Structure formats: structure tokens, C-alpha cells
Amino acid sequence: MKAVIVKEKGQTPIYTTDFQSVNTTTPQGVLLQVKAVSIKNLDRAIASSQHYSVSSKPFAPFVIGTDGVGALEDGTLAYGFGLQGMLSEYAVVNQSQLVPLPTGIDLALAAALPNALMGSVMALLLRAKFKPGEVVLINGATGVTGQVAVQMAKHYGASKVIVTGRHTPTLDQLKTLGADEVIALQEDQEALIHAFHRVHRETPLDVVIDYLWGNSAAAILSALKGKGHYQHPTRFVNVGAMSGDLLQLSSSILRGTDLMLLGSGIGSWTPQETEHFFQVLLPEAFELAVKGQLHLDTVSHSWQQISTIWDKPLANGQRLVITTD
């Protein structure tokens, strides 16, 4: 079987034509003829054997990729979340996480969107319990997931979307996706606190979606703190830690702020919420994409090119997609 595999631990994935067939006997599994697979940080971490899910296991050659799109036995095109490696001629996907694709959707976009949506709409709707008309701050919005978060916040009815990031050209582009105000993170800590305090004073922040943690998150939390009087309630949802896994949090911030501090990730979603994502939220987003109302910049390469493009850097906000054509 054709596949992209890690043949030896720590080595760059390679394309092969003679990998062993996938196991199709899993009760909850459905066989998908794979068309396109997006490559995310998670996939790279697994491929390098650095991810906790594989780092302690005995090594054996394996197919890379965690999710993608392809054709079912009856020809229906669908997105699926793999029960095994995904980037092969055929993959076994979880039947409960199988989503038919709307007619006309770009397959590379369909392969890339779900992970970004999981990191944005789950945080916004299911963890923060966002309501139309609220003000949203997205900390670290220049990456793929952050850009999708901007668009979905506007789609769900945010009255104002404020974004942060370090890449100035991408920050400016976010205005075309719905951002109302941008804050560059190159400023020193005191200047950042002042900037976040200003926007919170002008249009109180209802929801913060944080992809960075670290210094910028600390600045936001400091800016929310009141000075002896009641503060507007804010739900702060952490999704990632691109700026570091730790920060110092003064207990006075918690005492002086009407703050709900949350996280969004696999361990925080109930089975019912995960089911809602695959049955309702993801199909809705696919329809938006077909209508041209949801955008994500993809870069596609054939799987035969995997060894040469694996380490090739992408522009900020782009997602690599590998096709089986």
C-alpha cells in the first residue's frame, strides 16, 4: 500500500509504495480512500516521536497524519479522524467523527479547517459560552487557528474583535477577515498592560481566547484587574502556550477581577460537546467555506514530495496539506 511513513525513529517521513495494509476490523472504524491530509504541529510532534502519545512506546514504522478527507466506499467525500495513521491509500476513521463534505468544497481546505475549528469554536462557543453581541479579544491571532477564530467570532455575532500578534503584516490582513482592532505584541510589558487596559475600558472584554500564554497573557490578566471597584466579568480561555507554558499570576488579580479562567483542549471537552462539534459545528463551517465566507491559506504538495518539503518553512498563517494525487 502507498503511504507516507516514518521508517526509522527521528527521521524525516518518506513516501513508500509497499507499506502493510491497514487493519479494517475495528468495530467503530470506517474505511476511507484518502485524498488529502493536513500537517499540523501535532502531526510533526508525533512524526518526530516527541509527542507524549508515542515518546514512551517501542518504535515501529508508522503512517503519519491524524485526520483528513477522502472517499467512502459509495463515493461520498467525507472528513474523518483517523484511528490509525492517516496519510495512506486507505485509512480507518472513527465512524462517530465522520463528516460528509458539501458539494464544491476545496479538498485541501476541508482537510485543514477541522483542526483550526476545533481550536477556535470549541473555545469560543463551548468553553466561553459566547453570546452574540459580546466583545472578543484573540491573543495570538496571526496563526492558522487564530485567523479562523477571528472569522468565526464575527460569524457568531461578536460586536467587536480585538486581535494581537507579533507579525505586523498578518495583523493588518486580519482586518480583512473581521478584526476591528489590532495590538502589536512588540511593546514592552507595561505598554501592553496599558494597551489592554485601554481597550477593556473603552469596550469591556467579555471573552479572551488565548493561544500564547506567557507574557502577553499576563499583561491581559493584569489589565483586567480592578482598582477597588467592580469589574466587568470576563471569561479567559487558554488554548495554547506558544509563548511559554508558565506565567506568574498574582492572587490579587483573582480577588480584584470578576474572572472565569478556563482551558480548552481534549481533556476539557465532554463527549457530548465533541459530538456536537462533529455533528453540528463542523458541518456548518464547511458550508461557510463553500460559500466563500470562511478562509484559510493552504499550501498543497503531492505525497511523493514529502521528504523534500517536510522541513520547508511556511509563511505565517499557512497550513501544509499533502495530497495523494
**Same structural domain for residues 132 and 259?**
yes
User: How many whole angstroms separate alpha carbon 315 and alpha carbon 139?
Assistant: 19
DSSP string, 7-21: -STTSPPEEES-PPP
**Same structural domain for residues 105 and 125?**
no
**Same structural domain for residues 152 and 230?**
yes
**Same structural domain for residues 58 and 165?**
no
**CATH number for 152:** 3.40.50.720
**Same structural domain for residues 105 and 137?**
no
Residue 186 resides in a domain: yes
**Same structural domain for residues 10 and 45?**
yes
Burial class (CB in 10 A: 0-12, 13-18, 19+), 63: buried
> Which of 213, 246, 264 is a domain's end point?
264
Please count the other Cβ atoms lying within 10 Å of the Cβ belonging to residue 179: 26
The grid cell for 24 is 479494517
> Which domain covers residue 102, as residue numbers?
3-113+295-323
pLDDT for res 129 = 98
Residue 72 resides in a domain: yes
Residue 272 resides in a domain: no
Residue 313 resides in a domain: yes
Q: What is the DSSP letter of 218?
A: H
**Same structural domain for residues 254 and 309?**
no
Per DSSP, the three-state class of 171 is helix
Residue 254 resides in a domain: yes
pLDDT for res 231 = 86
Contacts of residue 263, Cβ cutoff 8 Å, sequence gap at least 6: 127, 237, 238, 239
Residue 290 resides in a domain: no
Do 235 and 128 form a contact (C-beta atoms < 8 A)?
A: yes
**Same structural domain for residues 125 and 82?**
no
pLDDT for res 233 = 96
**Dihedral over Cα of 37, 86, 288, 290: its sign:** positive
pLDDT in tens, the chain (325 residues): 999 999 999 899 999 999 986 565 677 899 999 999 999 988 999 999 888 778 788 998 999 999 999 999 999 999 999 988 999 999 999 999 999 999 999 999 999 999 999 999 999 999 999 999 999 999 999 999 999 999 999 999 999 999 999 988 899 999 999 999 999 999 899 999 999 999 999 999 999 999 999 999 999 999 999 877 888 999 999 999 999 999 999 999 999 999 999 999 989 999 999 999 999 999 999 999 999 999 999 999 999 999 999 999 998 899 999 999 8
pLDDT for res 22 = 58
What is the value of pTM for the model shown?
A: 0.94
> Which of 221, 242, 264 is a domain's end point?
264
**Same structural domain for residues 254 and 132?**
yes
**CATH number for 43:** 3.90.180.10
Do 264 and 273 form a contact (C-beta atoms < 8 A)?
A: no
Residue 283 resides in a domain: no
> Which of 244, 264, 284 is a domain's end point?
264
**Same structural domain for residues 9 and 143?**
no
pLDDT for res 278 = 96
**Same structural domain for residues 131 and 221?**
yes
Residue 57 resides in a domain: yes
**Same structural domain for residues 175 and 67?**
no
What is the number of structural domains in the chain? 2
